[in-house]
Structure 1
């Protein structure tokens, strides 16, 4: 078991259990630190309460009394708990440091950390980076906001093994000395303002990813995002820009034909499976992070010719009889479907529909120019039919559900067509989740002959 080093606290409050809080509490207890756990929602008879109590923790559940702060030197908080929480607000008044579990993970890692953040594209970039390193025979593990608790992974990490971390603004707010060897800043858009209260606070949290870096570290950043460019201007790390529009002598870039790292051609764009300009940005960022961490061009090529995307997010499913099938079931709103439609230049058969929330779909009109046919289902199929007809789409058909829509779309298709599920609606009229809807699309595609 790995030990926390240079950790000056002996009495720690873990605020909020869930996965990260539980992992943090166990780690601290294993390092002989006095741990008090406070959680509002967990029942006192819960299995984890009994386990932590047996390990030596003092566990208080059901409320957040200020008495939990007595003798506390440090708070490790669940990232989702807002700083307006009475315990946190009082701790701030008393000058008690407040961190998230990511800070503990950073303390445990002996080798390189690659930290990835941004308002959009974090998960895709994290997965790409990790896979590029794996295919290059570099030992690596993923963790963080992607769903695996960082401290749990950090404790299993070999001395030569790298860790690729997806990092949210919530996690990054709570760091003191955490420092990735390679930091990636994809973009910064307005998000989570209910939590951060202002765009400036949100931006500051995102920029914490490079605040502790030195000139021996690297910062991969989006050279086409003015907010990002301004934010990194005073960074101490070696800056490595990426751009989908312009040559970058000291970074990662793409022209119409290929992608490059500095002046080195990595591969032809036509060989990349993942579609969409937003995904090209994610690809360039991942190439930068991976190359700086030891990835080979062969390893990168192998990933980019096979990686089909995060499941249900413009996911490449299959090429069958020269038709390309894409699952974008996570597109539960108009903006997401706009991005999906923009990703294809070839003739597209569009599958859409779902829960009727009362909105119209005219905002999709400018993005339907490559759609040759629409197969529509669910509560919104009549509304979507009106938009499809306004757009001059020649063939518009109704379907009972996604399974029926896939079969009809295939019958309407020709070689080199794209068959795209991008519903622009939530799934709840016919399916429990967008995942269930996407899985039905995938299953049906695989039954086609």
Structure 2
């Protein structure tokens, strides 16, 4: 019996353990932190052995294969020891994919991947397909393969998940865009991060498709200098393609498989230029999967967007509060500030991943009147914008951040939580941060 060791007892870890057990592996789950109570229950019910707050080497280093949760870095001591012993360390996606015949649509990118994944899922589901949603979002891919029978899966894939693939090949891949993010995990080498994203297409064949942002410099440079076997489908706000997606006279046009799809951009529910790109990417998938045009139009006009992504929370005394907690890097915050149309109080900060705030400078000058710094170490934000905005305040919890912002805001302003940083200094994750923001706004 082959031994599968799962590092990390969260959603992807427990899902992998359940699939592994079902496929006849001897399974052991090891988490260096604490395992949440409901995941422990699942492991116990399924008679899967586990440990927490430690990695017992003799129980881990005897594995035939190891599934590492995406949050665990390659440089952690236990992963280094596994590598020295030549034990394969793979991601959930790599482990699970061979156990399903379903088509997969893999979506990666620095920003927009959750919105694009959710919108693609919405389009395919409304189109009548038997489709699952997984990867970095929703229920674990492995868990769904163990328990559900979907014909296709829409998967949000982070660079960390792609680092752990060997043979995985999506039928359709999307790269929404690439900008510097998570550089702390890539030795502060941007090219290594770009290469990680492009692993999504490394096993694709000429029967597969790669949908990508044709305006994105990092993507177009990579494609110019490297080869993929996949058929290329670009999307753009600036260029027009014979095969691909583009905007012409306020109309989204998609030309794929000799067939044209058009829709006026004014009828697309999601706001902002970056969301037009997400819509083009998702619609390209829907066209490849033969979803009817009327269904695509209807679905694009009623899609509500993603929680914690430019989510309008409440308007209090004519001040609009917006939750963009999902903006964990500078590029995401750039989109958020770019979409603001009124003077803005910006709540920012958290764990800096090697951020360069320079690209935000023109937007901050134009739109931001005050900044509330919400992080343990706010030095970089203060150094970058201290001389640019009228008022800057440091706080160390969300209640205080929202209260302070509400005092700074005047009628007609907006308060925007768009941190540009990871959340792990004061919060469990970006969802926790977003929920605390919404709670604090409701308490005003």
Q: TM class, shorter-chain normalised?
A: 0.7 to 0.9
- Structural mapping, 1:290-439, within 5 Å: 290-315=286-311, 327-330=322-325, 338-343=334-339, 348=342, 350=344, 352=346, 366-367=362-363, 409=411, 420-423=414-417, 433-438=433-438
Q: Taking structure 1 as reference, are residues 172 and 403 closer, same or farther at Cα in structure 2, changes over 3 Å only?
A: same
**Cα distance in structure 1, aligned partners of 2:305 and 2:209:** 26
How far off its partner does 1:62 sit?
3.6
Contact 1:10 1:73 in 2 (8 A): yes
How far off its partner does 1:126 sit?
0.5
Which protein shows a greater Rg? 1
Alpha-carbon RMSD: 4.0
Aligned with residue 275 of structure 1, among 265, 268, 271: 271
For the pair 1:66 / 2:61, whether they are aligned, the reply is no
Contact 1:258 1:265 in 2 (8 A): no
**Cα distance in structure 1, aligned partners of 2:133 and 2:100:** 13
Contact 2:347 2:415 in 1 (8 A): no
Aligned with residue 124 of structure 1, among 115, 132, 141: 115
**Cα distance in structure 2, aligned partners of 1:209 and 1:250:** 21
Q: Taking structure 1 as reference, are residues 246 and 317 closer, same or farther at Cα in structure 2, changes over 3 Å only?
A: farther
Contact 2:370 2:389 in 1 (8 A): no
For the pair 1:179 / 2:169, whether they are aligned, the reply is yes
How far off its partner does 1:31 sit?
2.2
Q: Taking structure 1 as reference, are residues 240 and 362 closer, same or farther at Cα in structure 2, changes over 3 Å only?
A: closer
**Cα distance in structure 1, aligned partners of 2:328 and 2:199:** 31
- Structural mapping, 1:94-173, within 5 Å: 94-158=85-149, 161-173=151-163
**Cα distance in structure 2, aligned partners of 1:356 and 1:215:** 43
Task: Give the secondary structure class of the aligned counterpart of 1:119.
Answer: coil
Contact 1:337 1:423 in 2 (8 A): no
Task: Give the secondary structure class of the aligned counterpart of 1:105.
Answer: helix
Q: Taking structure 1 as reference, are residues 53 and 242 closer, same or farther at Cα in structure 2, changes over 3 Å only?
A: same
Q: Taking structure 1 as reference, are residues 265 and 325 closer, same or farther at Cα in structure 2, changes over 3 Å only?
A: farther
Q: Taking structure 1 as reference, are residues 26 and 111 closer, same or farther at Cα in structure 2, changes over 3 Å only?
A: closer
Contact 2:110 2:178 in 1 (8 A): yes
Contact 2:324 2:336 in 1 (8 A): no
How far off its partner does 1:107 sit?
2.1
For the pair 1:11 / 2:3, whether they are aligned, the reply is yes
How far off its partner does 1:369 sit?
9.0
Task: Give the secondary structure class of the aligned counterpart of 2:180.
Answer: coil
Contact 1:308 1:316 in 2 (8 A): no
For the pair 1:206 / 2:194, whether they are aligned, the reply is no
Aligned with residue 32 of structure 2, among 37, 40, 58: 40
Normalising by the residue count of structure 2, what TM-score does the alignment of the two structures yield?
Answer: 0.76
Q: Taking structure 1 as reference, are residues 443 and 287 closer, same or farther at Cα in structure 2, changes over 3 Å only?
A: farther
Task: Give the secondary structure class of the aligned counterpart of 2:30.
Answer: strand
How far off its partner does 1:265 sit?
4.0
**Cα distance in structure 2, aligned partners of 1:98 and 1:267:** 45
**Cα distance in structure 2, aligned partners of 1:356 and 1:213:** 37
How far off its partner does 1:439 sit?
6.0
**Cα distance in structure 2, aligned partners of 1:441 and 1:109:** 44
Q: Taking structure 1 as reference, are residues 294 and 440 closer, same or farther at Cα in structure 2, changes over 3 Å only?
A: farther
Q: Taking structure 1 as reference, are residues 421 and 153 closer, same or farther at Cα in structure 2, changes over 3 Å only?
A: farther
Contact 1:402 1:440 in 2 (8 A): no
How far off its partner does 1:132 sit?
1.3
Unaligned segments of structure 2, at least 5 residues: 352-356, 375-381, 392-401, 427-431
Contact 1:327 1:442 in 2 (8 A): no
- Structural mapping, 1:76-95, within 5 Å: 76-95=67-86
Unaligned segments of structure 1, at least 5 residues: 1-8, 391-398, 413-418, 445-449
Contact 1:66 1:86 in 2 (8 A): no
Corresponding position of 1:192: 182
How far off its partner does 1:75 sit?
0.9
User: Deviations 1:51-102 (Å, cap 9, x if unpaired)?
Assistant: 6467454434443243234542111111111222333222222222111111
Q: Which moved more, 1:305-314 or 1:46-55?
A: 46-55
Contact 1:220 1:285 in 2 (8 A): yes
